[in-house]
């Protein structure tokens, strides 16, 4: 008897289904292989989860499996256990995770893998080489970071540990830190999984790992079709054959290091592995399909299940990471818990970072700059012109496009809701409401200056290159943004030129020495836009973008200067100038404790048709009369639900759905962190009941939302 998880995504069909196994398939129908079965009048694929001798299903309803599709184990035991844990943690089913974790099968790739030979001798030589590399890198890092020896001991130990690693600036410093961790893990026969935001960072990381002797998994013999290597890339955008080849190489243990975007969080590794995520606050880490799992939570969950090591590494520490570093209040949940912080020594931070100046109105008045109020004041032009004498200069501008925000007409602070502190928006009829809780706003007054008038702030970056070109005449200008015809420029030569780029599109400087791989100066324009950014992580997202740009600048020992131009939150500016991201993260954490937002409280976003959302909230006990109707906060008792708030129809709306019935809303449900696992279970049960009963309307949910708050 085989218990099979079918490739059926309906929530109410998330359990295993029993099938008879014919005698001819008895040996090959092992747990973890893919099979073809009949279900509901059609043939579907499935993964054998277990083999058993008995079944609770009536014998008259049992069928035989049609055939065994793969001749080897496609989903190893450890991966099957991880998939179950991930599905439970995020309120999904094992089938939801399988369609994301296991790429579509390509038969010819399986034949290639069987023809590949062993490389045991090369493996021993590689281990010796990695030990030498690890020792060399560790000697450099221990003089810069406090507590880095604890991470090294964890990579050599046999129990689960979690770390938050705040990296120093430098164009390749984060890569060298990650390479040291990989070398330490591989030298002790531990696999390593690295999740990065985009393919740009993946290519940079591959370049660094190759410098320490690791080889990319690639074809070694064209005639036999054999593949070999030490590290493989897993990315959902890869061609099917390449992705399936990398997946099989990881599941069979042929490669010990897996790099990729969020798809790599499902890499089929076994044993006490290293699970490393870089820039854990970036929006790319949230999966776009049910159950919308977050890469940070998945990696930490898997590291704990494997008894391995989890590391969240970034220039700007996320609020989640800051919350985990305080042992006085952190409780264990499936995806979070205490993490040991690793931070650079103050003297080293000052030496490694450029001289960062905040040129706001007060500072420009102090230096008697006559161009106060200009987008690029004279003081900044002088600094940038000096940098252009010896090399390239980077100007970081906000993302292209235009959005609208509301602010106080007198002190220019962003207008926020008096109930939940969410940003306010203006509707087409002129009324004002909160983007988070949907509360209408009347008789608004600014809490800072008590002004009662608002103004509309339109934010945009189009035409910046033309405007700045007038200030630096005769200087070559390179524009690197996704919206420009040339797109993102990957790299530039070390020569005097002005580079204008949006966050994440900064070109790398390619030179023959470390001195020639840095910008001579970096300027961050339009800092005031950060005052009107939306989203729960708007502040940390802004600091992440700023730190990413500044990290490409030469340090102050090589006359590097970075400028922050415009008004912004003083805490945000000071965090950048002192290169101390925990300062901002702690401030954000204190504010979220007052407003009962993640990570202090666990939260889920429920959206869909109004009637379906309301019914789901009732079923999980979040509305009046339910056991989760209220929550205890530092500010007193609050309702557990924010909203519901109307949201636009999806672009894929069914044309048969009448406009009058397409009333879409979203609501945020908050519970204490200790009840997060139960929240996931209740939401999954409510969704399953909605689907099984064929109730009208869309209903979806996501735990740990980022973009939806």
CATH number reported for the structural domain that contains residue 48 in this entry:
3.40.1440.60
pLDDT in tens, 500-556: 898 989 999 998 888 899 999 999 988 888 887 778 888 999 999 999 999 999 999
At 162 the pLDDT is 95
Q: Does 35 reside within a domain?
A: yes
In-domain check, residue 115: no
What digits encode the pLDDT tens for the residues 606-629?
999 999 999 999 999 999 888 999
Tell me the pairing of strands 630-633 and 636-639. antiparallel
pLDDT averaged over every residue in the chain: 88
Evaluate if pTM is beyond 0.75.
yes
Determine, yes or no, domain membership for 113: no
**Residue 121 pLDDT more than 60?**
no
Q: Name the token pair of 400.
A: 């292209």
Is residue 485 domain-shared with residue 537, that is, in the same domain?
Answer: yes
321 close to 164: Cβ distance less than 8 angstroms: yes
- For the stretch 644-679, pLDDT in tens is 999 887 766 554 555 545 689 999 999 999 999 999
CA geometry: angle 341, 345, 347, nearest 5 deg: 160
Say which residues have a Cβ less than 8 Å from residue 173's Cβ, sequence separation at least 6: 167, 352, 551
Q: Are residues 63 and 148 in the same domain?
A: no
CA distance 216 to 196: 17
At 159, list the tokens. 């129990």
- For 235, phi and psi rounded to 5 degrees? -145, 135
Judge if 423 and 435 occupy the same domain. Answer: yes
Same domain, 253 and 362: no
Q: Same structural domain for residues 393 and 514?
A: yes
Q: What is the model's pLDDT at position 461?
A: 45
Are 374 and 503 contained in the same domain?
yes
Closest CA relative to residue 320, chosen from 345, 300, 290:
300
> Of 533, 558, 590, which residue constitutes the final position of a domain?
590
520 and 642 share one domain: no
Q: What is the pLDDT of residues 66-109, one digit of tens each?
A: 999 988 889 999 999 999 999 999 999 999 999 999 999 888 88
Same domain, 464 and 542: yes
d(CA 588, CA 596): 12
Q: Is residue 368 part of a domain?
A: yes
Q: How many domains does the chain have?
A: 4
Q: Which are the contacts of 377, defined by CB distance < 8 A and separation ≥ 6?
A: 359, 364, 369, 371, 565
**Of the residues 299, 314, 346, the one at which a domain ends:** 346
pLDDT of residue 376: 84
Task: Please return the burial class of 184, using the count of CB atoms within 10 Å of its CB with bins 0-12, 13-18 and 19+.
Answer: buried
Any domain includes 92: no
Closest CA relative to residue 236, chosen from 101, 75, 113:
101
**Residues 519, 407 within the same domain:** yes
pLDDT > 90 in the chain, percent: 59
- Which of 229, 246, 126 is CA-nearest to residue 186? 126
Same-domain pairing of 515 and 568: yes
Please identify, among 327, 346, 365, the residue that sits at the C-terminal boundary of a domain. Answer: 346
CATH code, domain carrying 200: 3.40.50.300
pLDDT at 466: 64
- Pairwise CA distance, residues 702 & 606, whole Å: 7
Q: What is the CATH number of the domain that holds 616?
A: 3.30.70
Residue 470 counted as domain residue: yes
Is 438 a domain residue?
A: yes
Q: Is 10 helix (H, G, I), strand (E, B) or coil?
A: coil
Judged against a pLDDT cut of 80, whether residue 161 lies above it is answered with: yes
Token pair recorded at residue 545: 């973008």
pLDDT at 377 over 80: yes
Residue 148 shares a structural domain with residue 21:
no
- Locate 281 and state its tokens: 């606050």
Helix (H, G, I), strand (E, B) or coil at 257: strand
- Residue 217 domain boundaries: 120-346
> Could you tell me where the beta strands, DSSP code E, fall in 40-191?
42-51, 67-68, 145-146, 161-166
- Going 368 to 373 to 378 to 380, the CA torsion angle's sign is positive
Distance CA 4, CA 47 (A): 5
Q: Which of 307, 308, 297 is nearest to 337 (CA)?
A: 297
Say yes or no: 580 and 611 in one domain: no
Strands (E), 334-484: 340-344, 355-359, 393-396, 403-408, 424-426, 432-434, 454-459, 477-480
pLDDT at 114: 66
pLDDT of residue 229 exceeding 90, the answer is: no
Considering only 156-165, 309-318, 447-456, which range has the smallest mean pLDDT?
Answer: 447-456
User: Is residue 79 in a domain?
Assistant: no
- Other CB atoms within 10 Å distance of the CB of residue 63: 13
């Amino acid at each position: 008897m085989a218990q099979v998880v079918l490739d059926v995504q309906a929530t109410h069909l998330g359990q295993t289904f029993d099938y008879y196994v014919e005698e001819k398939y008895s040996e090959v129908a092992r747990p973890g292989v893919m099979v073809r079965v009949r279900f509901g009048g059609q043939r579907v694929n499935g993964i054998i989860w277990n083999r058993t001798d008995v079944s609770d299903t009536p014998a008259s309803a049992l069928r035989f499996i049609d055939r065994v599709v793969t001749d080897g184990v496609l989903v190893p035991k450890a991966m099957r256990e991880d998939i179950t844990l991930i599905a439970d943690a995020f309120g999904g089913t094992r089938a939801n995770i399988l369609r994301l974790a296991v790429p579509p099968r390509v038969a010819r790739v399986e034949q290639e893998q069987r023809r590949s030979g062993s490389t045991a001798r090369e493996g021993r030589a590689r281990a010796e080489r990695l030990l030498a590399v690890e020792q060399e890198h560790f000697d450099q890092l221990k003089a810069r970071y406090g507590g880095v020896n604890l991470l090294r001991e964890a990579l050599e130990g046999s129990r689960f540990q979690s770390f938050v690693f705040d990296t120093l600036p430098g164009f390749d410093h984060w890569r060298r830190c990650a390479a040291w961790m990989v070398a330490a893990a591989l030298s002790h026969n531990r696999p390593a999984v690295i999740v990065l935001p985009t393919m740009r960072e993946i290519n940079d990381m591959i370049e660094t790992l190759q410098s320490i002797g690791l080889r990319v998994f690639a074809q070694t013999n064209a005639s036999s079709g054999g593949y070999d290597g030490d590290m493989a890339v897993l990315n959902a955008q890869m061609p099917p054959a390449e992705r399936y080849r990398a997946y099989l190489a990881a599941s069979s243990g042929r490669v010990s290091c897996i790099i990729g975007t969020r798809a790599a969080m499902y890499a089929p590794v076994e044993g006490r592995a290293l699970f490393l995520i870089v820039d854990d606050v970036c929006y790319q880490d949230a999966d776009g399909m049910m159950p919308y799992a977050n890469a940070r939570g998945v990696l930490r969950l898997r590291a704990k299940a494997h008894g391995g090591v989890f590391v969240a590494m970034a220039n700007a520490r996320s609020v989640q990471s800051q919350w985990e570093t305080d042992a006085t209040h952190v409780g264990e949940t499936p995806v979070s818990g205490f993490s040991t912080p690793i931070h650079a020594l103050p003297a080293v931070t000052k030496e490694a970072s450029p001289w960062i100046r905040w040129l706001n109105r007060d500072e420009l008045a102090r230096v008697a700059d006559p161009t106060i109020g200009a987008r690029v004041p004279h003081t900044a032009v002088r600094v940038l012109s000096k940098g252009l004498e010896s090399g390239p200069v980077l100007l970081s501008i906000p993302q292209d496009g235009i959005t609208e925000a509301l602010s106080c007409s007198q002190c220019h602070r962003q207008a926020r809701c008096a109930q939940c502190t969410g940003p306010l928006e203006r509707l087409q009829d002129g009324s004002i409401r909160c983007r988070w809780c949907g509360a209408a706003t009347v008789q608004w007054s600014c809490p800072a200056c008590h002004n009662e008038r608002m103004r509309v702030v339109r934010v945009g970056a189009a035409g910046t290159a033309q405007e700045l070109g007038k200030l630096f005449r005769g200087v070559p200008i390179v524009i690197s943004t996704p919206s420009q015809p040339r797109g993102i420029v990957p790299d530039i030569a070390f020569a005097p030129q002005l580079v204008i780029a949006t966050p994440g599109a900064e070109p790398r400087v390619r030179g023959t020495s470390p001195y020639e791989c840095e910008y001579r100066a970096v300027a961050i324009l339009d800092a005031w836009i950060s005052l009107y950014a939306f989203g729960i992580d708007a502040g940390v997202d802004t600091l992440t973008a700023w730190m990413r740009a500044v990290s490409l600048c030469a340090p102050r020992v090589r006359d590097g200067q970075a400028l922050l131009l415009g008004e912004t939150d003083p805490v945000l500016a000071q965090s950048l100038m002192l290169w101390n991201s925990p300062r901002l993260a702690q401030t954000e954490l204190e504010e979220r404790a007052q407003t009962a937002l993640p990570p202090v409280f666990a939260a889920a976003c429920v959206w869909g048709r109004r009637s379906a959302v309301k019914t789901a909230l009732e079923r999980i006990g979040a509305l009046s009369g339910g056991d989760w109707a209220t929550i205890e906060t530092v500010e007193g008792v609050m309702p557990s639900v924010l909203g519901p708030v109307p949201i636009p129809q999806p672009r894929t709306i069914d044309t048969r759905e009448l406009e009058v019935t397409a009333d879409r809303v979203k609501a945020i449900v908050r519970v204490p962190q200790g009840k997060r696992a139960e929240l996931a279970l209740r939401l999954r049960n409510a969704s399953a009941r909605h689907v099984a009963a064929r109730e009208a309307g869309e209903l979806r949910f996501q735990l740990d939302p980022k973009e939806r708050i």
